[in-house]
Structure formats: C-alpha cells, structure tokens
Amino acid sequence: MSAKCYLAVDLGASSGRVLAGLFENGKLELEELHRFWNGPVEQDDGLHWGVDQLFTEIKTGLKKGFETYGDAVQAIGVDTWGVDYGLLDADGKLLNDPFHYRDARNDTMMPRVFKIIPQDEIYRRTGLQFMQLNTIYQLFAEVRGDRPELKEAERFLMIPDLFNYFLTGRTINEYTDATTTQLLDAKARTWDLELIRKLGIPGKIFGEIVEPGTVVGTLTPEMQEELGGNAEVVAVGSHDTASAVAAAPLSSKHCAYLSSGTWSLMGLEEPKPIITAESAKYDITNEGGVCNTIRFLKNIGGLWLIQECRRNWVEQGEELGYDQIADLAMAADPFIAFVDPDSQEFAQPCDMPTRVQIACERTGQRVPETKGEIARVVYESLAMRYRAVFQTLEKLHGKRLEALHIVGGGCLNNVLNQFTADALNRPLITGPVEATAIGNMLMQMIAKDDISGLVEGRTMIADSFGTQTLKPESTDAWDKAFERFLAVC
C-alpha cells in the first residue's frame, strides 16, 4: 500500500509552515515543505497582517507538496491563530489587510462595549473569556471609528476561512475559529445576531458555520494551474489550538492540556460548554473543539515574552538562540522576582527586557540585570501562572487532575517544562511537538474516512510520535515561592 499524503498549512502568530503528512500502515510521518516568517506589519493606520505575502508563501509550500507527492495528495487543511478576520466586498475582494490583534485600536473598547451589553450577559451568551483582542472588540472599534470597510463589507471571514476562500472560492466560517470571536451563541453554536446588532455590527456579513471535518470544496481552476495539482480543501479545526488539542493523546479525562507556544492555552476537554458563576468568576473560556468537544481553557501570555526579549537582544547585536537563553536562565539565581505574564504592559511589541525590569522595580522586588536573570524571571513567572490556572481548572473540574499534557513548540523548552512540573507537583507528558499540524491532518483524514474518529486518531498519533514524561523534582521551593507570586500578581 502506497502512502497517502495530507498537506497542512499551519500559521502561528510568529511563523508559518506547510507540512506533508504521509499516512501508511496505520502510522503518520511528517515532512516540512516550507517555513516562513509571520508577524505584524506596521501600516499608516496600525498593525496589520500581510495577507498577500502570507498567501504567496502558502502557495509556495503547497506547490512543493504537489511537485513531490502528485496524485498521492488527498486533501489540504488550513489552521491559524484566532480572533482576526478579513472583510470582503460584494465582488469578493478583500477590502484591506486584516488588523493584527495586538493593534492599539482595541485598547479602550471593552468598557465601551459593556456600557451597551453588560459583561455578565456577554459571558452568559458566549461563554468566552474577556480579552481586548477578541473579535467583538475589534469589530466594535471599526464601528466606533466609522471605518468605510465595515460599511462596504458583504462577508466576514476569519483568517483560515479567508485562505480557504482564496483556494476554493467558497465562503464559510469554520466552527472552532468562529468561537474565538465572542460573537457566537455557545449553546446554540450559531452567530448571536441579537448581540451583534446591539453593537451596530452589520449582521448580514456573518455566513454559514460548518463543523471541522467538512469538505469546503476543491481548488479553483486557477489554483489547480498555479499549484500543479488538485485536492479537496477540508475545514479542519482551523483555530490552531483546536488542532493542537485534537492531536494531544490525553491519558484520561482527568488530564489537563497545555498548548505551549507564542500563547499558552491550558484547559480541559469537555463534552459541552461550562457557563456558571464560578467559570465567569475565573474568566474561563469555552471554545469549540473538534468532534463535538469543548475546549474549557484559559489563555496565558506564553512564550511571547521570551520571543520579544530575544528580538530585542538580536537587534542589539547578540544572536542568541532559544536554547542559549534557556541555558542562561538555568545559570541564574532562582526566584529573584516575578511578573504577571498576562499583564497588558507586555501585550504589544516593546522593549521587553526593560518592561520586565520596570515591572519588578514597581512591585518592590529585586530587579533582574543579566539576560539570564530576565529570562529566568519570565520562565518562573510562566510556571507559576500555569500553577494558578491549573489549580483553578482542578477546582472547577471537581476532581484531582492527574497530569498536564503539553503539546506544541513549547515541548522543546526543557527548562520551562521542568519548572512547570515542579510548580504543579504533577507529571508532565510532552509531545507531539508538531501537534497543530498533526491535528490539522487528523481532521483531513477523518473527512476522507481514513480514520474513524478522535479516539482512533489519537491512538495513531501516540503510536506514530510517542511522548515523554517529566516528573516533579524540587517542589518545596516552588510551594514557598508561590505565595510571593500571588502577592505580586
């Protein structure tokens, strides 16, 4: 039996990849076809995404996939970060480059929205945690700014939906990414048009919502000619965290997951939304998962802080890799200070090392001076934040959580992972690293009837890629330092 090939387009908030998944004899192997940079582009009116350039890079990767595997290519799937969107006019033309979720236009929108619709009502309807980058506040910023694009718009597409449209010519909204907008009725799984219209957002722009695993269509004739092949495009778990969690071979229902990358997302897989006074109190989100699951989770600042530190150090002429930064952190003294990784002061591109120092000074702590000290403060603060969220999830779950399963690029950060195991005093199961792309392929394989469902798919993933387990070590020191972290944050 010859291998079948599935092509996954995986766009994170800092890089993009196109990968091939070769499925044969019940196992999956990956090959990276193309990797490219992704990040905010400064324009006159703020931070945007360079969609044209991103699509050029996507096509480069897909073309290589067809050149290499030809008729073995079964399908294509696209996943990206959440919350951002594009607007199409009546002729199907993209009206402008989509705004980046870190753009400052969102900064004052949340309290203005709450004057129109109370915060508790929004949570009751949507089940989503409150972050100023959510689509609801971005669109309301367009309403407030009287932007012409919103007036001309006939169709609203999230970023992965936009690329599916470019490939197939069909406009759909995939469910998992739609749930990141804070505009979806969490229980009915449809657009909350009453909420949308109360905010002055035109309801006509919101279209059909499809479940992950739905075939969107085949490539347009123009795409077939440009890419040198044809295949069906599948709406996968197009929010990258949905794909990452799909690929997490969770050891039991009493196991939390952490998708670790630019953002960290920690949560539980549940059969239905949990929208209670307690979940509202802790601002826990209910996002759509694949195969009729809910990702009951919390967004955490993540490795963005380290990425920004590295960018600043590189700009200053020191070409430090992430492994070198981790080594410097291990050599620094422990627990000299803590910061809140979720603080808005760290949310936008900035001189991150200086921001960390200022935060420590402001809270009366020892100020980290060296690169290793700054990195250690960030890593330890992330591990402590993970502990706080883990304890909250455990409380809402009602039973002791047995372990934390980490997927994504953060699997490779052994320093942060060991810190996390120590902070939680629970075993950590890591892998697969390429969880998002693998979960993307998993939903393609389900759509094409090569895999029967999520249970079989996760077994296949565990067999194909394996996992590693880290056990907690020096937990007493972390217990003592945790109270200091809570006092600061």
Active site residues: 240
Nearest to 87 by CA among 39, 40, 148: 148
**Using an 8 Å Cβ cutoff, are 268 and 215 in contact?**
no
**How far is 326 from 372, CA to CA, in rounded Å?**
8
Q: Compute how many other C-beta atoms are within 10 angstroms of the C-beta atom of residue 71.
A: 11
**Using an 8 Å Cβ cutoff, are 340 and 489 in contact?**
yes
Nearest to 246 by CA among 396, 128, 405, 130: 405
Q: Compute how many other C-beta atoms are within 10 angstroms of the C-beta atom of residue 306.
A: 22
* H/E segment holding residue 386: helix 371-397
Tokens standing for residue 8: 């996954």
**How far is 351 from 348, CA to CA, in rounded Å?**
10
For helices 414-424 and 322-331, the axis angle rounded to 10 degrees is 50
Helices (H), 299-365: 304-315, 322-331, 352-362
- How would you classify the pairing of strands 214-218 and 184-185? unpaired
**How far is 51 from 60, CA to CA, in rounded Å?**
14
Strand partners, 470: 428
**Using an 8 Å Cβ cutoff, are 446 and 254 in contact?**
no
**How far is 18 from 33, CA to CA, in rounded Å?**
6
476, 478, 484, 489 alpha-carbon torsion, rounded to 10°: -150
**How far is 357 from 361, CA to CA, in rounded Å?**
6
Nearest to 297 by CA among 316, 313, 279, 309: 279
The identity of residue 320, as a single letter, is L
Residues in CB range of 200: below 8 A, 6 or more apart: 140, 143
Report DSSP state, residue 3: P
The identity of residue 401, as a single letter, is L
Report DSSP state, residue 452: -
Nearest to 239 by CA among 370, 115, 431, 84: 84
